[in-house]
Amino acid sequence: MLTGELKKSGLFLFAGASALALFVSAVPAANAQYVTKQEFDAYKKSQPEVTWKGAPRISSEDGKFQFKVRGRLNVDYDGIDQDESITGDPDVSSVELRRARIGVEGVVFYDVAYKFEVDFAGDNTSVKDAYLRYTGLPVDITIGNFKPYNSLDELISGNYITFMERAAFVEAFRLDRLIGLGLSYDENKHWTLSAGVFATTPEGDQTEFYEDGTTFSSRLTVAPINEKGKVVHLGASVRQRDAAGDPRNDAENLFRYRARGADLHLADRFIATPYIGESDTFWGLEGAVVLGSFSLQGEYSQNRVEVAPGIANADPTYTGWYVGANWFLTGESRPYKNGVFGRVKVKDPVFDGSGGWGAWQIAGRYDVLDLSDQADKITAGGVVTCSACGEQVTWLLGVNWHLNDYTRLMLNVNQSEIDGGVNDGAEITGVGMRAQVDW
């Protein structure tokens, strides 16, 4: 009897297992008529790809669309001896958020690139890069708020410059972002050509659009040698601009020229002109050489100023120039593309107890800004006094520690000597430190 029951149970289990197998095998057969391989491939192709480049970059597989959150943070300390016995300005010992930016960049339908970035450092929120760029032609077309085409030091991103601040003439001649339209060609690895027309007043200072002056800018670069670890760069640029509004009604619409001591952002300005320029013409020459881990970079610039009638009986020419050298002790090299230098690729990054050294860079620069031309004529022949017009010569020594491609610590030791004007003979000495990350 027991044997009979076992046989019945076995038959029952066998029948159940067979039915389950038939059901399971039927499921994919039924689904196969709704999900074909082509449909699955199309579905997969429609899903965004995510890559990591400092921050997540999302893109469609076909490359039509890209999107990335971008930003940077610079935390600085400046300690500056401002030679108070001569200048009357107290010493500085302070920290600041030099840059605190967040923004987005991306591509729409292959050929339209965009970038929008806001800086929250300081007392005011300011828009930095904010533009659209059409790349579907041999010549790129850019419209929005961006940098005019002048000066190698200015056009290198603040993330990649060797020292904490750019050369003094960049601030003095106000090479900064403007709203405008630009055309640029950079498809050839050996040369670039750019030109644009802009408003004269920076976006953050504008009140009404019709008050803006006009700025024209153009730049040509040539790199007869452009290989990995070996670069020769030559360049020239020009800018012509007219003051905004009617200077007869508001003298502050005129241009003035000034720069901070010791090439540090929290220093006061010890050479400066009054508001005098009705228009000016800037031109500059650039040169750079990269030989493996060693590189040289320098620029020379002049700014010819047309002084507004009744302000002064002089048209001065101001000059600025610098020459600098840097060396990576750990063997890295400055990468070069499209007429500027870019992000350093760290060979042995510091991460997660890896014991990596990162990249160590030492650098020096000699920086000169001369605002003394015809200072006596401006003072004697007009309604303004050029009491602080003079020359500033600055020595800088720097050490940079790149922990990885996106993070670095910076140390600058700088000294400026002032010649001429009310601050004649002053020596401004400073130490600057920065912790930087960008993504």
Q: What is the pLDDT of residue 62?
A: 82
* Cα distance between residue 433 and residue 75, in whole Å: 8
pLDDT band at 309 (very low <50, low <70, confident <90, very high): confident
pLDDT band at 379 (very low <50, low <70, confident <90, very high): confident
User: CATH number of 72-438: 2.50.20.20, 3.40.630.30, 2.40.160.10, 3.30.470.20?
Assistant: 2.40.160.10
- Top pLDDT among 378 and 171 is at 171
- Top pLDDT among 204 and 184 is at 184
- Top pLDDT among 64 and 406 is at 406
Asked whether residue 242 carries a pLDDT value surpassing 50, the answer given is yes
Maximum C-alpha span of the chain:
131
Residue 315: C-alpha distances to residues 164, 255, 260, 279, 319 (Å):
33, 13, 23, 10, 13
Q: What is the pLDDT of residue 23?
A: 40
* Per-residue pLDDT tens over the stretch 138-171: 999 999 999 999 999 999 999 999 999 999 999 9
**pTM of whole model > 0.85?**
yes
pLDDT band at 61 (very low <50, low <70, confident <90, very high): confident
Q: Mean pLDDT throughout 58-86? A: 94
Q: Which residue is it, tokens 């020096």?
A: 364
Asked whether residue 178 carries a pLDDT value surpassing 50, the answer given is yes
Q: What is the pLDDT of residue 247?
A: 57
Q: What is the pLDDT of residue 10?
A: 43
Quote the mean pLDDT of the chain: 89
- Top pLDDT among 28 and 84 is at 84
Q: What is the pLDDT of residue 225?
A: 98
CA angle, residues 100, 105, 109, in degrees to nearest 5: 170
- Top pLDDT among 5 and 66 is at 66
Q: What is the pLDDT of residue 37?
A: 67
- Top pLDDT among 351 and 117 is at 117
Neighbouring residues of 253: CB distance < 8 A, sequence distance ≥ 6: 211, 243, 244, 245, 246, 247, 275
pLDDT band at 56 (very low <50, low <70, confident <90, very high): confident
* Per-residue pLDDT tens over the stretch 91-133: 999 999 999 999 999 999 999 999 999 999 987 899 999 999 9
Asked whether residue 3 carries a pLDDT value surpassing 70, the answer given is no
SS3 assignment for 171-190: HHCCCCCEEEEEEEEEEECC
pLDDT band at 60 (very low <50, low <70, confident <90, very high): confident
Q: What is the pLDDT of residue 50?
A: 84
* Cα distance between residue 397 and residue 375, in whole Å: 31
* Cα distance between residue 418 and residue 436, in whole Å: 30
Report the percentage of the chain scoring pLDDT > 70.
86
- Top pLDDT among 46 and 304 is at 304
Q: What is the pLDDT of residue 86?
A: 98
Q: Mean pLDDT throughout 402-414? A: 97
Q: Mean pLDDT throughout 322-334? A: 98
* Per-residue pLDDT tens over the stretch 278-287: 999 999 999 9
Q: Give the closest residue to 180 by CA, choosing from 133, 247, 125, 245.
A: 133
* Per-residue pLDDT tens over the stretch 11-20: 333 344 444 3
Which of 51-55, 253-257, 291-295: highest mean pLDDT?
291-295
Listed by start position, the domains of the chain span 72-438
